[in-house]
A and B are shown apart, each in its own frame.
Chain A
Amino acid sequence: MSVARVVCAWRAGRAGRATLAALAFATGAAVPALSELAAQDSRDRARDAPPVVVASKPFGESYLLAEMFAQLLESAGLAVTRRPGLGATEIAFTALRTDAIDVYPEYTGTGLVAVLRDSVTEAMRRDPRLAFDRVSREFPARFGVRWLPPLGFQNGYAIAVRRETAERLQLRTLSDVARRGRDLRAGFTSDFIGRGDGFAGLASAYGLAFKSVRPLAPAVKYEALATASVDIIDGYSTDGLLAKFDLVALDDDLHFFPPYEAAALVSPRLSRERPDAIAALARLSGRLTEADVREWNRRVEVVREPVATVARDALASLALAAPGATDLDGPVAEGTRGGAGFAEFFWARRLETLRLAGEHSVLVLVALAAAILLAVPLGVVLARVPGIAEGVMQVLGVLQTIPSIALLAFMIPLLGIGARPALVALWLYALLPIVRATYTGVHHADPDAVGAAEALGTTAWQRLWWVQVPLAAPVVLAGVRTAAVITVGAATLAAFIGAGGLGEPIVTGLGLADTRLVLSGAIPAALLAVIVDLALAGVERVVGPAHRRARRPQSAD
């Protein structure tokens, strides 16, 4: 994985530099030219520096702002690595805190509620600056993470209804909904339903009640509202999709929602070592208006223009970058313009899809091969020492029950983001089916045959290799098939921690509510699972034990 290699390379580079710095420091007191060296060092730094890793969370505005950050840095002559669409707040923030990424766009309200787990004061609701003061004081102290000055606009929760509903029931504010909206059916993201500052708090603040409340994925929320499957949803105030579906955002007249001012959130390393990058990013502070951002979001989410194009136009309109200075390699770079049919869209993306399928296959094959290398011998050992077998398999079973996204998040502090943590997580998931199959296959191999072999004088090893393992082989292979299919599916989630693969268009597509993009990852992933399964079925036939292939008529006695 080229990305993993780059990350490793600059990790190693950083460690090397730290060692040099320590040496220089140790001997430095006696060297009069030290300050001269330091000056030289800072001149060299920009040229030799590792790329700034710019990341985003998986939704349209986050992609757009991150791409603007990236282009801004590039126009200042800095090298940039893009990591769009990282999982969710916990994954992106963990990656940032541990220097696996350097900057991503975040919102003060999210910082307060999701990271600090603070309650939002009445004063903050009325004055967003207070919220920003709080997070920009707390984050450096607690995490070494720094907030750059706000970008200038807010993107808070917006509770929205269809225009027709708003007009029919005369809804303008959430207080109106509390009074006249009791027959509405709500569809909220599960995130919003679960959070204390989400639906529960909102309902008690306004005295809201609905006919029903259903959890919905962000990707389908708008469709569900537009097709009248639900009547009221949670959205974001700068959402381009509000315009697309002709929705009305209701006014939070009691100021329940915390302020969500957007700002660049910067890693400890970047704020310590890269004043040049900080200066470049800070040029965006205070420059964005809610109206501008809503229009840009509309171009990304509704018109489906490439994120890179919209970002470049946006920077040009702010006179922050020369037009045409940057590449177009955004997350939805090719063939995503609205209007095209799915077949056409899919065809336009064929090379990208092939590349992602290749990445995906490498993830699966490496994780699976590593799993086989450990799981088969482990299964054989457990069959020989059945006393510990159940215990070991229960531990593996517990691993299996950790939700993939949580397991991936656990990996970040240990292994950063990218292919390596994804491989470890996939490897852990693949272990249990193979260990269990091997154990079962060996332990339950034809007891009559094994017993007879023992009674005729074979040693335990001979029985294992001559009888039990060959007889277990089909069962082991079946376990490998199960693990392979699971791994192909789980590998799509690896995109949440920047490991690439076919999950990438799925994650991006979910973030942009772009069904075609989701399908352009999901369909090849499903096909890949089928292909892997069939290929392993073929392997099973070819290397299966001879007695299962031979089919001769039984002769009479």
Chain B
Amino acid sequence: MSLALDAESLRHAYAGVTALRGVSVSVRPGELLAVVGESGSGKTTLLRAFNRMVEPQSGTVRIGGENVRGIAPEQLRRRIGYVPQLGGLLPHWTVRRNVALVPRLIKAASPDAAAREALALVGLPAEQYGDRFPHELSGGQRQRVALARALAARQEVVLLDEPFGALDAISRSEVHDAFASIRRELRFTAILVTHDLSEAARLADSIAVMRDGLIEQVGSAHRLREQPATPYVAALLARAMAAGAALVTA
């Protein structure tokens, strides 16, 4: 079971700099939407509107059809997994305690059991990794722990803010595989913000291209390539394909 995500006509500006200029987007239950765009395109602002880390100046955000404004921020956020770029693990807590955070917040029966399950899911057995501190893990392991933390309370929605962006290519590819297999198991709804169009193509059901606070186009990778709605999308796809081709021919 999963929840749909909807954003409708979101507008927002930070101290005079406009980040969202009327963005509407929907994610069907169980689907993963990738949001790609350059820095400053507004993609992270859009992501953070869903867990009320940003309160848009106008527009509506719904989760499972319910306006998020009607839900207390802490309550809302405990229902939504979140993975930031650097993991955001608490450095003074063990892996187990980090992963058990949200189960503990929602007063789950056994936060430790939930943590063990989530760690198993991301391929880091609690017996081996549970008592380590974040600095004792590799970057890829840290991101997997962050992912486990975002799923430990069986969250139905997960927001991922460039979660694999800081990893080296090999770790990234491994974590991509792990992530894809987890998604086959748990059909949570997700939004993935990324710079990397190939990552988006690999993991997402559909891709939204953002530019200057607006969505240029939403669709599958195939559709974006075949029927780009704007010259910007066309150029973006052409660049990504050239890079991919270079890689293949190298």
Residues of A within 8 A of B (CB): 446, 448-449, 451-459, 462, 466-467, 470-471, 545-547, 550, 552-557
Contact = CB atoms under 8 A, between A and B. Distances in A.
B102 interface: yes
B91 interface: yes
A455 B51 contact: yes
Contacts of A448: 84, 86-88
B91 A457 contact: no
Interface residues of B, number: 39
16 contacts: A448-B88, A451-B88, A452-B82, A452-B88, A452-B146, A455-B48, A455-B82, A456-B101, A456-B150, A457-B78, A457-B105, A546-B133, A547-B91, A550-B133, A555-B137, A557-B141
Contacts of A459: 74
Contacts of B82: 452, 455-456
Given A453-B88, A456-B149, A457-B75, 5 more contacts: A455-B53, A457-B73, A458-B74, A547-B135, A557-B174
B92 A457 contact: no
A458 B102 CA distance: 8
A44 to B, nearest CB: 67
Interface of B: 48, 51, 53, 73-79, 81-82, 84, 86-93, 101-102, 105, 132-138, 140-141, 146, 149-150, 159, 171, 174
A299 to B, nearest CB: 65
A192 B167 CA distance: 70
A330 to B, nearest CB: 56
B134 A547 contact: yes
Contacts of B140: 557
B176 to A, nearest CB: 13
A467 B89 CA distance: 10
The 7 residue pairs across chains A and B that have the minimum distance between CB atoms: A452-B88, A457-B78, A457-B77, A547-B133, A455-B82, A545-B92, A448-B88
A296 to B, nearest CB: 66
Nearest to B74: A457
A449 B105 contact: no
B156 to A, nearest CB: 14
Nearest to B101: A456
A449 B136 contact: no
A437 B102 CA distance: 30
**Most B C-beta atoms less than 10 A away, residue of A458, A545, A556:** A458
A449 to B, nearest CB: 5
B185 to A, nearest CB: 21
A473 to B, nearest CB: 9
A454 B88 CA distance: 10
A554 B132 CA distance: 10
A471 B134 CA distance: 14
**Most B C-beta atoms less than 10 A away, residue of A455, A546, A547:** A455
Given A467-B90, A546-B92, A550-B133, A556 B138 contact: yes
A303 B198 CA distance: 92
B223 to A, nearest CB: 31
B85 to A, nearest CB: 8
Given A454-B53, A456-B149, A457-B102, A554 B136 contact: yes
A554 B133 contact: no
A456 B92 contact: no
**Most A C-beta atoms less than 10 A away, residue of B86, B159, B171:** B86
Given A456-B77, A456-B78, A557-B138, A552 B90 contact: no
Contacts of A545: 92
A470 B92 contact: yes
A455 B84 contact: yes
Contacts of A449: 88-91
A454 B80 CA distance: 12
Contacts of B86: 448
Contacts of B105: 456-458, 462
Nearest to A548: B92
Nearest to A454: B53
A446 to B, nearest CB: 6
